[in-house]
Structure 1
Amino acid sequence: MSPTESGHLRRARLRHFLRARREQITPEEVGLVNVERRRTPGLRREEVAALAGVGVSWYTWLEQGRDINVSEGIVNAVSNALRLEECERKYFYRLAGLNPPQRTEGHRCDSPDARMHALVEGWAPNPAYITDRYGRIEVASRSARALFRIDARGDNCVVKFFTEPSTREKYPDANEVGRGLVAQFRAQSARFPEDPEFGRIAERLCECSPHFAALWDCHEVVGPNQGMRKIAHPQAGVMVFDRLVMRVPENPESLLTLYIAQPGTGSAERPRELVGSHSGVG
């Protein structure tokens, strides 16, 4: 993809993102009196401009995705007006062609090193795996392969979730899981604006999964999502895990996901049995 094409794509994403966020905020939320009936939901462009302290024409050009210079101060002002979360702000920074303020993530390596492999396998009997920038499995422990029915390398977590009904059925809270996967995938795509593979994956999924297409149109973004994860297993029942996600230090493009079985659940009662059985990845 040429720099010109990359710029067009980035500005198109910026246009959709700002409009989606603007339409999700009510006038009452930002202290405006809603005295008239509105034809469209959310705030108007002139209201966002006033809240951010910028000109209406300038904000309109920004939301239209025009090729204009955007400063860090403007991004922060608009972020405040739209009440963006930290991850959404970073996404906005990247779409505006700026580097978000953050600590240096280190140098990229071609693949997770031997220590990460050892950590993943040594996490047994609890599952662990490492994914690349697209959500594809790079390394997976034996327990993760058995529980999630994934290959040691190559399966894409996002694609698997939205194209295999048997994968979605494993999650009692499948709607929440799917929403998080899409929002994280979109945030990842902004970190690599010149990589066309994100667009190809999204296009294929939009064609074959109306569920993915609807979530993709929401333009939600989150960082590596963690917290509790419930997984239904035919022998152990509903297993409950605490889930920790972090970037691999030597290769910040990759994400390490660790599961810890909560006491008193099916997962905690019979974790070792699951390793020997075959029961997507979330």
Structure 2
Amino acid sequence: MTSESPAVTRRREQLRDFLRTRRARLTPGDVGIVAVGRRRTPGLRREEVAALAGVGVSWYTWLEQGRTINVSVEVLDAVSGALRLTEPERAHLYVLAGLNPPRAGGARGAEVTPELRHLLEAWTPRPAVLRDRYWNLLAINDAARAVFGFDDTDHNCLISFFTNARYRDMHVHWASAAPVVVAAFRAAAAHAPDDPEFGRVVDDLSDASPEFAQLWARHDVGVPVQTVKAVHHPEAGDLFFDMVTLAVVDRPEWYLELYNPRPGSETEDRLERLATRLATPA
């Protein structure tokens, strides 16, 4: 019989302590249970948690003891609800039980905070874009509009890459970049094969762009990397950027794309002149 690794042993110990402390902090009144007589157990009893979660008392006891048992997403969600876990606590329970944590609820419809908007504007005259896991544009600064040709009709980076004529025309290496872009989006979609939103983006773009449909059918998969983005702007001329993508820590499905002028390319001076020109009344 194969012995358990020290890491797994520690995880099971943490699972035991975590469930016990979450159970101990609740009172019967917190969950709508009428308490009768004196209670020697602080917080809820194991059988009460099991009843609230709709699982067997023995199974919940084994889970709390950190035994080797099979757990499912549905059961962990039921236990999370019974123990009134917060979203971070629920994700922590998944990790301790050996499962991938769930996606953070509410991230898709969350408002962009003033702090993030301020960061985007502070990056001006350099372009900055905030997008979600589906590459939907959540917020952009004025420099991104001016440099990349985004307008009010643009709502998704991938769709704009293939359907915004001005955006396409300004990208010096569009044809060679297109397969890489599609392969990166397929890699992102592969992490959530049952998510209909990825399918909606693919279906909409396949109908609008035969080029995308052809590239998508190749099933190439790539990993997003830090890249150099080359743009030929009709007023500013050739612009070269180092693009860095950063995850937003409290919104794990949001990504901040920051474009920094490539050293030695004269891009920074050209951006400054473009910004001055756009800010000067005609």
Task: Confirm or deny: 8 A CA contact 1:105 1:249 kept in the other structure.
Answer: no
Matched, 1:193 2:199: no
> In 2, are the aligned partners of 1:147 and 1:275 still within 8 Å (CA)?
no
- Unmatched runs of 5 consecutive residues or more in structure 1: 1-100
Match of 1:162 in 2: 162
Calculate percent identity across the aligned residue pairs.
34
- RMSD over aligned CA atoms reads 2.8
| 2:212 alignment counterpart | 212
What CA distance in whole angstroms lies between the structure 1 residues aligned with 2:196 and 2:129? 25
Q: Is the 8 A contact 1:131 1:137 kept in 2?
A: yes
Tell me which moved more, 188-197 or 144-153. 144-153
> Cα gap change, 1:193/1:171 in structure 2, threshold over 3 Å: closer, same or farther?
same
Show the counterpart of 1:238. 238
Name the CA distance, whole Å, in 2 between partners of 1:235 and 1:102.
52
How big is the shift at 1:257?
Answer: 0.2
What SS does structure 1 have at the residue aligned with 2:115? helix
Indicate how the Cα distance of structure 1 residues 106 and 196 shifts in structure 2: closer, same or farther if over 3 A, else same. Answer: closer
Q: 1:236 to 1:202 in 2, by over 3 A?
A: same
Q: 1:142 to 1:175 in 2, by over 3 A?
A: same
Distance 1:105 1:261, change over 3 A: farther
Question: Is 1:257 matched with 2:257?
Answer: yes
Give the deviation of 1:151 after TM superposition: 4.2
Give distance in 2, aligned partners of 1:124 and 1:252.
24
Could you tell me which runs of 5 or more consecutive residues in structure 2 were left unpaired when the two chains were aligned: 1-97
Deviations 1:117-159 (A, max 9, x none): 2221111211101011221211111111221232479621111
Q: Is the 8 A contact 1:137 1:153 kept in 2?
A: no
Partner Cα distance (1:277, 1:159) in 2? 29
Query: Helix, strand or coil: the match of 2:170?
Result: coil
Pairing of 1:168-187 with structure 2 (within 5 A): 168-187=168-187
When Rg is computed on C-alpha atoms for both structures, the one with the higher figure is 2
The structural deviation recorded for 1:163 is 1.5
**1:117 counterpart residue number:** 117
Tell me the TM-score normalised to structure 2 length: 0.56
Aligned counterparts of 2:100 and 2:117: Cα–Cα separation in 1: 25
Correspondence list, 1:90-129, <5 A: 107=104, 109=107, 110-129=110-129
TM (normalized to structure 1)? 0.56
CA distance in 2, matches of 1:155, 1:277: 26
Alpha-carbon distance in structure 1 between the residues aligned to 2:154 and 2:262: 29
Partner of 2:272: 272
- Inter-partner Cα distance in structure 1 for 2:276 and 2:224: 29
Q: Residue type of the partner of 2:268?
A: A
Deviation at 1:170, TM superposition (A): 0.9
CA–CA distance in 2 between the matches of 1:200 and 1:107?
20
CA contact (8 A) 2:242 2:262 kept: yes
Residues 229 and 241 of structure 1 are in contact (CA less than 8 Å); yes or no, is this contact kept in structure 2? Answer: yes
SS at match of 1:124: coil
Q: Structure 2: which amino acid aligns with 1:172? A: V
Look up the equivalent residue of 1:206 and give its one-letter code. Answer: S
**Higher RCO (CA < 8 A, seq sep 6+):** 1
Distance 2:277 2:196 in 1: 38
Contact 1:106–1:251 (Cα < 8 Å) also in 2? no
> What is the CA-CA distance between 1:105 and the residue it aligns to?
10
Counterparts in 2 of 1:148 and 1:266: CA distance versus 1, 3 Å: same
Aligned mates of 2:99, 2:275 — CA distance in 1: 39
How far off its partner does 1:238 sit?
1.3
Partner SS for 1:270: helix
